[in-house]
Amino acid sequence: MFIATLIAKESLNERDIQSGLASLDAAGASIMRQSELIDGRALDIFFEGDPAVARERLEAMEGDIDIAVQPEANRLKKLLISDMDSTMITVECIDELADYAGIKSEIAAITERAMQGELDFEEALRGRVALLEGLDTAAIQLCLDERVKIMPGAKTLVRTMAQRDAATILVSGGFTKFAKPVAQAIGFESFHANILAEKAGHLTGGLDGPIIDSRKKDELLQSAARERNLSLDLCLAVGDGANDIPMLQRAGLGVAYHAKPKAAQAADIAIKYNDLTALLYIQGISADQWITE
């Protein structure tokens, strides 16, 4: 059996519910039952049928409603692995850091192409970092203080899952100088990111150590699941760009969050309207069970 979850940005009304039921009927699904309205915003519809066709029909509905279609089994996840930039925080750190060097537009254009999957990730990363050569490392803390904002719902998502004994891992193609404080602020138990090379208080334009790219993110997901004796069905991956696609496809549930088209197409679920708390509704966790600040 499958679950179709409708999550409204504001409120889910009877017209929305009937539209969802009609969409599933048009998809040839057999509707078994539906939940009560959850927090005025969400609804679960349990059905049998083709999940891909059901998703396609439901996503054609009008209104600011996110759609999640997934198997009923293993709905509650025990591992969360997430990208950082434009997923757990609202900005791309390298673009904002470049602003302190006066070259934001140049670097942001490359970042956008890399996220769209038009450029090799490592090549694009090393090229952008090279342009930051000579930047005072004090700019990193300034950027953290002035530009880096936690994505709405991030703390609630991570802390609620952690409270339920889920592993929480932040994986970033960005930099440890940002990932460490972000992971601590949100509540992730661990983080992985790239290391900016420094010398005499300035960036050298290079990177130290192995690169965290799409392949490495996928490897980190698999190794984390093995270490905890978890099947991939119990893993949830979240991201927004082409660099996240392998882990989105590997995880039992891959969620594209306000994502680029290629990532949204590759994922099981694409969140377009809601904040990150939508990932709790998807797991059947209502607001009265959330861990909030």
Which of 16, 66, 85, 244 is the catalytic position?
85
Q: What is the CA radius of gyration of the chain?
A: 20
Pinpoint the residues of the chain covered by CATH 3.30.70.260. Answer: 1-73
Given the residues 83, 95, 244, 268, select the one marked as catalytic. Answer: 83
Question: pLDDT confidence of 130, banded at 50, 70, 90?
Answer: very high
**Residue spans in the chain of domains classed CATH 3.40.50.1000:** 76-93+150-198+207-293
47-87, pLDDT tens digit by residue? 999 999 999 999 999 999 999 999 999 999 999 999 999 99
For residue 293, pLDDT beyond 80: no
- For residue range 251-281, list pLDDT tens digits in order: 999 999 999 999 999 999 999 999 999 999 9
CATH topology of domain 76-93+150-198+207-293: Rossmann fold (3.40.50)
Strand partners, 139: none
DSSP alpha helices (H): ranges in the chain? Answer: 14-26, 51-59, 93-100, 104-115, 121-130, 138-146, 154-163, 176-186, 214-227, 245-250, 261-266, 278-282
Q: How many residues does the chain have?
A: 293
CATH 1.10.1660.10 assigned to domain 1-73? The reply is no
Q: Is 85 a catalytic residue?
A: yes
Q: Which of 4-8, 187-191, 289-293 has the lowest mean pLDDT?
A: 289-293
What tokens appear for 218 in the block? 């996928």
How confident is the model at residue 214, as a pLDDT?
Answer: 96
Judge whether 165 counts as a catalytic residue: no
Pick from 100, 116, 5: nearest CA to 58? 5
pLDDT at 18 over 90: yes
DSSP letters of 139-164?
HHHHHHHHT--BPTTHHHHHHHHHHT
